[in-house]
Structures are given as C-alpha cells and as structure tokens.
Amino acid sequence: MKRIRAGVLGATGAVGQRFVELLTRNPWFEVTALTGSERSAGRRYGEACTWRLSTDCPAEVRDLVVQPSEPNLDCDVVFSALPGSMAGPIEEAYAAAGYPVLSNASAHRMDPDVPLLIPEVNPDHLDLLATQRARRGWDRGCIVTDPNCSTVGMTLALKPLHDAFGVRRVVVTTMQALSGAGYPGVPAMDSLDNVIPYIGGEEDKLIDEPRKILGTLDEAAGAVQPAEMRISPACNRVATRDGHLEAVSVEFARRATVDEVIEALRAFRSVPHALGCPSAVEQTIIVRTEPDRPQTRLDRDAGRGMAITVGRVRPCEVFDCKFVVLSHNTIRGAAGGAVLNAEIMIAKGMIP
C-alpha cells in the first residue's frame, strides 16, 4: 500500500512531537509536511523543535522545513496539534481547501456536524461528515476531532457498560498527568509535593464530551442526540509525567454484579482492530484484578499506550459499581487517538 502523506499542524509543541513520533513509526503514513509558529517557520524541524520525548527526533523529519500554517501543504491528510485558541479558523481553512483534518484541538469538538470520535466507540458518527460537507460547502475536506485526554479513558470504559446496563449517573475524580498541560505547562514549584485540585475548562469537557460520544446519531437531523446520563467530574493535577488515572462511580439503569461488569468490559471488541488499523490493539480494555492496579507508571504504556486499563471493579456503596481507569493522555488521549481516527477513515475508504 502506498503510504498516506501526512502533515502535522503545530508540529513543534508537545502534542505535535507525539504526532511526529507516532506517524513516522506507523506503516500507513509518511510525514511530508510540518507547520509551526512564525518563529519556527523556515527553519529545519530538527533545529526549530526542542525535542522533549525520550526517543530521539526521527531522522526522516529532521530536515523538513517548518512551514507557516497556510493550507497549501504537500500531503493527503493533516493532523492538528494547534492550541485551542488558534485551531478553529485554521482547521476550517484546511478543510475548505480539501484536506481531511484530524484534530486534537477542542475548537470544533462540540460542533453539531463534527464527529467527536473514538473509533472503538462511535465509528458510525463518521456519517456526520456528509452533513458537515453539505452544510459548509466543503468538497473533499472535513474535520474529525478526538476527545479531551480526560474523556477518552472513562468513555471507553463506559461504552460496554452503557450498552449492557445503561449508565445513568457518574461521579468521577481525575488524577491527571503533567504532560496534559503541554510545555512548559505546570511550574515544578507547583507540582512537587502538591496536588492542584483544578484544571481550567477540564470539568466542562468531561461533562459534555462523553455524552456526545455515547450519543445516538440522528441522521435526519445531521447531529448526535447526546446520551442521557449525568456526569459530575472533579479534575486534579498530580505529579506524574504521563497517564490520567480516574476513580469512577456509576449508577446503572439495570442491576449488574461486579462479575457482569468485568465480563462486559472484557467482552468489548475493537472495530478498528478488526479492520486492521495498525494503531489499534486487540484488547482495548484491559481489566486487572490485583487490588492495587492500574498504577500510573506501571500501566500507562499497556498496549503501546493505546489500551486503557480498568481495575478495582467493586460495588459502590452509593451507586452500583465503582472502578479505576487509566489511559495514556498523550498517546491514547491525544496524538494516538487522532492517528487511529485517520486509520479507521482509511480502512473505510474515506481517506484519501
């Protein structure tokens, strides 16, 4: 198969570097274009970018010249790691110019005609693209978003439970990693020996995004009917590098034993894996039964960072069930998720 030529918008930042790392290792893609800020544009990527991952900056991209964010890149698809404040109009410009845009930014996530996609959960929401193109007058281009990093793990875990038992109410407390704040992000003075019980804007995303993702596509309306569940989040920043750990309590519409919950989680099958997507893992939801797992450091890399790990499934004294879920926030919860979104679109013949 001929490799898809990929561009990365905002390639020098933390998420941009993850995109570059994942795409250069991915058998379906080659990286042919990178954009950056005015300060970076015109310089070689290897120079413009202070590489912060523990792997080396891939040799094949070091000599690519960083370009400004104008929609005339030499590529088949673009991945957007743009900051939320800038992403909106730039991503639209790319889509209007014919590029499929796989975005990690929040700008368009809640637009009614934009899929907010976890390919294992709601691949049918890609049908929104017909509406999107019709409404916006776009030809081949489109925008597909992936959810916020704190949304992905919990929503993946809720999917089989919602299908089996009906999720009605959720109380969730997150313990989120530093890399979720980008770079430079959180000052070390605020992180060492501390927990910060607040992440700006995060709780709102965790209230709304899972409901859209778990919602029902209304083809007539060209929109998603959000799932009828209420979610109460409390978001905290802790001193871990990668990996968002979340303590979740769930009320179901139907009764379910702990064993039934575990069985439903374990029975979950990955559509993109069945379609051969290289970033997908066979077992998206790993259930561990040791009393003290998942732990952030030990389990965040499970399934190359694309699996989530659920543990401590036990009865809830207030609702029906509670558990802990861990996901890798910059792989599963950011760049890796957007790459998988592109892969399922390729597998379905929607790209290029």
With CB under 8 A as the contact rule, which of the stretches 171-179, 216-224, 256-264, 269-277 interacts with its own copies? 171-179
Sign of the Cα pseudo-torsion (340, 121, 206, 285, in order): negative
Task: Rule CB under 8 A: say whether 262 interacts with its own copies.
Answer: no
Task: Rule CB under 8 A: say whether 197 interacts with its own copies.
Answer: yes
Q: Is residue 300 within 8 Å of 315, Cβ to Cβ?
A: no
With CB under 8 A as the contact rule, which of the stretches 52-60, 63-71, 134-142, 158-166 interacts with its own copies? 52-60
Task: Rule CB under 8 A: say whether 289 interacts with its own copies.
Answer: no
Spatial separation of the C-alpha atoms in residues 329 and 235, rounded to whole Å: 14
Among positions 6, 78, 121, 178, the unique one binding its own copies when judged by CB under 8 A: 178
- Strands 223-225 and 216-218: what pairing? antiparallel
Task: Rule CB under 8 A: say whether 330 interacts with its own copies.
Answer: no
Closest CA to 204 of 239, 236, 158, 235: 235
Helix 202-213 to helix 149-165 angle, to the nearest 10 degrees?
40
Spatial separation of the C-alpha atoms in residues 58 and 25, rounded to whole Å: 9
User: How many residues form the binding site for its own copies (CB under 8 A)?
Assistant: 63
Q: At closest approach, how far in Å is the CB of 290 from its own copies?
A: 9
Among positions 183, 267, 269, 276, the unique one binding its own copies when judged by CB under 8 A: 183
Closer to its own copies at the Cβ: 78 or 256? 256
Q: At closest approach, how far in Å is the CB of 320 from its own copies?
A: 10
Q: How far is CA 300 from the centre of its chain?
A: 14
Among positions 196, 253, 258, 275, the unique one binding its own copies when judged by CB under 8 A: 196
Task: Rule CB under 8 A: say whether 137 interacts with its own copies.
Answer: no
Q: At closest approach, how far in Å is the CB of 161 from its own copies?
A: 16
Q: At closest approach, how far in Å is the CB of 288 from its own copies?
A: 11
Spatial separation of the C-alpha atoms in residues 218 and 162, rounded to whole Å: 18
Task: Rule CB under 8 A: say whether 170 interacts with its own copies.
Answer: yes
Q: Is residue 344 within 8 Å of 275, Cβ to Cβ?
A: yes
With CB under 8 A as the contact rule, which of the stretches 25-33, 67-75, 135-143, 232-240 interacts with its own copies? 232-240
**Catalytic residue list:** 149, 244
Q: Is residue 240 within 8 Å of 178, Cβ to Cβ?
A: yes
With CB under 8 A as the contact rule, which of the stretches 82-90, 189-197, 262-270, 276-284 interacts with its own copies? 189-197
Task: Rule CB under 8 A: say whether 318 interacts with its own copies.
Answer: yes
Task: Rule CB under 8 A: say whether 201 interacts with its own copies.
Answer: no
Task: Rule CB under 8 A: say whether 283 interacts with its own copies.
Answer: no
Task: Rule CB under 8 A: say whether 52 interacts with its own copies.
Answer: yes
Q: Is residue 173 within 8 Å of 236, Cβ to Cβ?
A: yes
Burial class (CB in 10 A: 0-12, 13-18, 19+), 180: buried
Among positions 62, 316, 350, 352, the unique one binding its own copies when judged by CB under 8 A: 316
- Cα angle 24, 29, 32; round to 5: 75
Among positions 133, 169, 304, 348, the unique one binding its own copies when judged by CB under 8 A: 169
Q: Which residues of 35-73 are buried (b: 16+ CB within 10 A; e: fewer)?
A: bbeeebbeeebeebbebeeeeebbeebeebebbebebeb
Backbone torsions φ then ψ of 330, nearest 5 degrees: -100, -10
Among positions 67, 69, 179, 327, the unique one binding its own copies when judged by CB under 8 A: 179
**Residue numbers at the binding site for its own copies (CB under 8 A):** 14, 52, 54-56, 169-171, 173, 175, 178-179, 183-198, 200, 207, 230-234, 236, 238-241, 245, 247, 249, 291-302, 311-312, 316-319, 322, 324
